[in-house]
Each structure stands twice: as structure tokens, then as C-alpha cells.
């Protein structure tokens, strides 16, 4: 994989309106998330519809509460490893919400200003697939090569940046396996 003008190649592009300009242009943090819509169900177009403000609140009882949210991620990695990109990496996606990151001695907030958000189709208890780990490792390697301020120590979870609000990608995410896959690409 490679990055061309902020877009991951060969990801499928589906532009989200839920984005704006990064204040400084900085890309220095990668935040991993998980999502399934409806909760616990995989497949379908509900995630894409949520990130493009087209989710039908009548399609499922859970959707009535979230249909009005204006959220996005830079990238979604589906269970089969397909990558769908909603926001170019150089733009600010609306994914982290109220969050904070300890950057050495400095505590930083407003993480969307400098973080890339990747959603893994899944939940916190169902193991992620090998295809997802491989796609995530490839996309991460491309970002590490393109954005010098982003390092392997600056890859974290939504749970770590919003610990009282979020717990994703959860205990089902195998950090050691992900780092092993990333190491295979980077060596």
C-alpha cells in the first residue's frame, strides 16, 4: 500500500462530509477504534452510511440514537481486509471525541487535530481477522513511511485516549500480533 495525496492506495474512497482542515497539518498519532452496526453484527453498509450522514434511523432500533451523529474516521478496515477511506489523512476526521494523549511531559487534547482514526469492523469481544491485521499493518506501514512525526510508539487505542468513555478496540484486539505483522512489512 502507498499514500497518494492523502489517500491510501488501493483503498475504496467514500468521502465523508464529517471532516475539516487540520489546524497545523500535523499527523503524529494513530488511534485504533472498533465499530459494528448494529452492535455485534458485521457486514452491510450501515457503517458507511453513518460516516456519510445517510444512516436510516428506522432501519434498526439502535440507529435512532446515533443517526444524527456527525462522525467519521479516516479509514475503515472490514472483516475481509477491505479498506474504505472516508477522509484523506491530511484532513481532520471527527473520530476521537473528548480525549487526551500524554505526549512526553505534555498532555494534549483535541486529538482530531493531529490523529488519524482507523476503525476496525468488529467489537470488543470477537477476535479480529487475519485479513484485518494484515491490512492494518500495511496501512500503518504506509503512514509511518509518509508522516515522519508518526512513529510506532504513537499508535494507541481509543480506550487509552478516552478511558472513561471508550474501551475499543477492546481485549479482542491482539496488539502483539499486530506489531508482529507490522514488523514483517517494515523489515
Residues annotated as catalytic (active site), given as ranges: 119
Closest CA to 149 of 96, 99, 89, 107: 89
CA–CA separation, 48 and 27 (whole Å): 24
Cell of 16: 465523508
CA distances from 150 to 31, 40, 103 (A): 11, 32, 12
In sequence order, which residues have a C-beta less than 8 Å from that of residue 98 and are 6 or more positions away?
A: 162, 165
The dihedral over CA atoms of 150, 153, 157, 158, expressed in degrees to the nearest 10, equals -50
Are 120 and 32 in contact by the 8 Å Cβ rule? The answer is yes
CA–CA separation, 122 and 169 (whole Å): 8
Amino acid at each position: 500500500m502507498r499514500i497518494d495525496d492523502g489517500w491510501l492506495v488501493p483503498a475504496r474512497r467514500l468521502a465523508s462530509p464529517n471532516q475539516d482542515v487540520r489546524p497545523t497539518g500535523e499527523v503524529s498519532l494513530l488511534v485504533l477504534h472498533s465499530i459494528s452496526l448494529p452492535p455485534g453484527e458485521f457486514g452491510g453498509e450501515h457503517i458507511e452510511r453513518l460516516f456519510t450522514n445517510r444512516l436510516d434511523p428506522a432501519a434498526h432500533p439502535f440507529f435512532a440514537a446515533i443517526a444524527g451523529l456527525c462522525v467519521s474516521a479516516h479509514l475503515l478496515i472490514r472483516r475481509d481486509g477491505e479498506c474504505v477511506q472516508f477522509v484523506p489523512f491530511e484532513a481532520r476526521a471527527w473520530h476521537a471525541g473528548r480525549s487526551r494523549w500524554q505526549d512526553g511531559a505534555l498532555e494534549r487534547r483535541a486529538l482530531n487535530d493531529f490523529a488519524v482514526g482507523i476503525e476496525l469492523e468488529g467489537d470488543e469481544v470477537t477476535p479480529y481477522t487475519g485479513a484485518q491485521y494484515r491490512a492494518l499493518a500495511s496501512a500503518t506501514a504506509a503512514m509511518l513511511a509518509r508522516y515522519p512525526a508518526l512513529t510506532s510508539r504513537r499508535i494507541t487505542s481509543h480506550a487509552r485516549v478516552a478511558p472513561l468513555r471508550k474501551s475499543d478496540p477492546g481485549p479482542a484486539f491482539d496488539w502483539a500480533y499486530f506489531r508482529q505483522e507490522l514488523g514483517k512489512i517494515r523489515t
